[in-house]
Amino acid sequence: MSSLDTNPATFCTGDADSSFQPLNADDVRSYLHTSVDFICDYYKSVESLPVLPSVEPGYLRRLLQPAPPTCSAPFNVTMKELREAVVPGMTHWASPNFFAFFPSTNSAAGIAGELIASAINSVGFTWQASPAATEMEVLALDWLAQLLRLPPSFMNRTGAAGRGTGGGVILGTTSEAMLVTLVAARDAALRRIGSDGMAGITRLTVYAADQTHSTFFKACRLAGFDPANVRSIPTREEKDFALEPERLLEAMEADAAAGLVPAYVCCTVGTTSSNAVDPVGAVADVAAGFKAWVHIDAAYAGSACICPEFRHHIDGVERVDSISMSPHKWLMTCLDCTCLWVRDSLRLTGSLETTPEYLKNDVSDSGIVTDLKDMQVGTGRRFRGLKLWMVMRTYGAAKLQEHIRSDVAMAKMLEGLVRADDRFEVVVPRNFALVCFRIKPHGGAMAEDEAEEANRELMERLNKTGKAYLAHTVIGRKFVLRFAVGSSTQEERHVRSAWELIQKTTTEMMMEATEKLIM
């Protein structure tokens, strides 16, 4: 069928007099029971599924009708098509054999929270629009801030004297956290130089290491910064690819001497390529001399900082303006959930606040609460705080810390296995639960370009098996394989099995190469 059916009576069956009840209680119960069974069966079987599907672009349109149906279908028909067409085309992030990217973790409590929040379906743009949703988000953020041992200045505080200056909000992604803080920093810098409106924006400069996530540079464009004024500070292998305060200072001084205005520095704790950690305190000290906003992007590694042994990675946080981390990556809370805290929420709401007449109310006007719509780009917002609270309430700090430590221990084990095989090298010291390694060049027998070709081939062969999925990066001009431990279903046996597959595949490649030379 290539177009909509214009004669429903010809094909539709059922009672024509029955009314449409999308929330019929019996249907809700039946559909959700069926869906829960599907989810449970999926988690039981996901280990046996190919991690990376072998489908071709456009496959789904060939399996499912290209035009929307005119008539209803039994729910079991929909579920049958889901199982037979959609699941085979999924890359299974939930698989214990998924090692490609930082994990997208999940948990029974997280799934339950997401399900209940979706069912309640509140749109909590103001406190009045959904008091419990707003206060649950505030509470969950304060709980997590306490686990991270953030200073009180970042807390959402309410009381008889009104709100404190700090506050937080749950956003969808790190990109949003960067964007809203860039906008606030932009406006603060413009006020500082006495610019009328946006006239002075071409003078503003922003800074980040060259290992900073690419979304930062995208967010800078969206916030209106001149691309020519976005500084990507080169990093070095001997400094483990972290941002060097000396180089940052040099760049900021040069810009200030040229009449430009340093406005924002992004400091990363756990870069995507290698898990490099920028020195928070030292970076904050440099930025303070220019009154520039400092933001910590701890999207992945921030979760580890709930463990006392990793907390030092954000030492100096009391001197920054904002910090964000994503519990959906490593803290068992399903997508999407990025937590942003700011030391002075008024600087954020001053740039993002909207006050249409139809949203005005006495509580908002009182100043006792901050309407969370004024700390994000849009107005509408999901009830994300529920699943984060349910995860922390159900598992407690001890189990969440146990989860982090287990993943780190498995990654440390893998690092040892890699170092024990002289065909491989660990390219950068392991941080947290990411191991960056490669087949190393063997003296004059394998040049650097040949090493890249060998590692690329190894990755492609591994991924084609469906038994493991790895991704790559380029660090210091070296093509490197990234092995990220952390799937919610992962155990030590999965890591060992993947390493055995890596070794076996490498041996096969080297034997084939030797045979070619002999021939």
- Residue positions annotated with a catalytic role: 358
- Give 509's contacts (C-beta < 8 A, 6+ positions apart): 454, 457, 458, 461
φ/ψ of residue 359, rounded to 5: -105, 0
CB 69 within 8 A of CB 6: no
- 179: tokens are 């964007």
Give the residue carrying structure tokens 């149906």: 69
CB 432 within 8 A of CB 408: yes
- 405: tokens are 């430590």
Span between the terminal Cα atoms of the chain, in Å: 56
CB 432 within 8 A of CB 411: yes
Residue 26 class from Cβ within 10 Å (0-12 exposed, 13-18 middle, 19+ buried)?
exposed
Angle at which helix 385-420 crosses helix 492-518, to 10 degrees, equals 40
CB 324 within 8 A of CB 341: yes
- 513: tokens are 């190469």
With vertex at residue 141, the alpha carbon angle to CA 135 and CA 147, rounded to the nearest 5 degrees, is 140
- Give 145's contacts (C-beta < 8 A, 6+ positions apart): 154, 155, 168, 341
- 280: tokens are 């928070």
Dihedral through CA 383, CA 339, CA 341, CA 269, nearest 10? 180
Residue by residue, DSSP assigns 20-42 as: P-TT-HHHHHHHHHHHHHHHHHH
Residue by residue, DSSP assigns 155-173 as: S---STT---S-EEEEES-
Q: Which helix (H) or strand (E) holds 474?
A: strand 471-475
Peptide bond into 336 cis (omega under 30): yes
CB 154 within 8 A of CB 140: no
- Residue 478 pairs with which residues in a beta bridge? 475
**In 127-173, which residue ranges form alpha helices assigned H by DSSP?**
131-147
CB atoms within 10 A of CB 211: 23
CB 230 within 8 A of CB 217: yes
CB 300 within 8 A of CB 102: yes
